[in-house]
Amino acid sequence: MDICRLAREIQEETEKIIVGKSDRIRLIIMAVLADGHVLLDDLPGVGKTTLVKAISLALGCRSGRIQFVPDMLPSDIIGMRIFNQKTGEFELRQGPVMTNLLLADEINRAIPRTQSALLEAMEERQISIDGEQFRLPEPFLVLATQNPVESESTFRLPAAQMDRFLIRISMGYPRPEEEREMLRNLGDEIPFGQVRAVTSAEELVRTQKEIAAVHVSNAVADYIVALAAMTRTHDQLVMGASPRASRGLYRAAKVWAAMEGRGFVTPDDVKVLAHPVLEHRLMLSGGARFSGASAAAVLDDVLSRVEASPDWKGRGA
């Protein structure tokens, strides 16, 4: 599979519906091909649900949606066993998690116990009901949203769950010219019927496995390690990038290189992805928050202080 061509075709189909968000769409496609979950920090009405549906149609995958609310229970996500009075037996009722692309809308409105129901699904690609494990469909990807403005009836996502999202991005409001185009093309009805499937769930899984062939030199791998290490010792952070984060950046950079038509990763690939992959995993110290520092500024400082070896083009394994 030509990953560069596939990514371009997915983007072209998605942009039949989503106007003016090419860079964000490209990052989401990267995450999908990297088998990673996405967190969208966004305001209501900017097209999150529409985006997920458009991408799922282009991928030829099933999609589902969970609208998180404070009184939601874990069984509302993963399912439960229900007693059938006619047969006298318990029957499994699968939850909405049994899909390929799951939109977890306003995930921070659910209580921590319910949020944690997704942890096993996101990491192990399985769920547990009454002690029995069930594999999720392949691929399984969570695209979660949280409203960054409202704080009433919301709960902060735990660090363990934040760490399971490969990237965090924001769609943001469209520019005036983009909004005009949206009104002209989509004002009456969203033409989902125009989106054609350019791949399938099975082919997508095979493509994800092909990423292993993209080469990462020792110098580029060392650069990723050095970036993660500095976040762990930075005086403005109490929690830096985890080994899961460095693994995520490593794989994301391989996908990004493949989407650029290359069979090898460059330090620039790592730099492009550092903010969406690492920023949401960093936790500021109390003093840094008091002084008005931000995780983005700290990461900029790390990127400015860590340099890749000039021999990064070396073909060492």
What is the predicted pLDDT for the residue at 1?
A: 60
**Triad 185, 29, 232: Cα angle to 5°:** 130
Q: Which residue would you say has higher pLDDT here, 149 or 72?
A: 72
Which part of the chain is CATH 3.40.50.300? 3-207
- State how far the Cα of 53 lies from the Cα of 35, in Å rounded to an integer: 18
**Confidence class of residue 317 from pLDDT cuts 50, 70 and 90?**
very low
Examine the pLDDT at 293 and tell me if it is beyond 60: yes
Instruction: Give 242-246 contacts, CB < 8 A, sequence gap 24+.
Output: 242/163, 242/281, 244/163, 244/164, 245/163, 245/277, 245/278, 245/281
Domain with CATH 1.10.8.80 in the chain: 214-305
The CATH classification number of 3-207 equals 3.40.50.300
Position 118 pLDDT exceeds 90: no
In contact, 90 and 83? CB cutoff 8 Å? yes
Q: What does the alpha-carbon distance between residue 163 and residue 116 come to, in Å, rounded to a whole number?
A: 13
pLDDT confidence tier of residue 316, bands split at 50, 70 and 90: very low
What is the three-class DSSP state of 139?
A: coil
The CATH class that applies to domain 214-305 reads mainly alpha
Beta carbons within 10 angstroms of residue 141's beta carbon: 27
In this structure, the strands spanning 37-41 and 141-146 are parallel
Widest CA span in the chain: 72
pTM of the model: 0.90
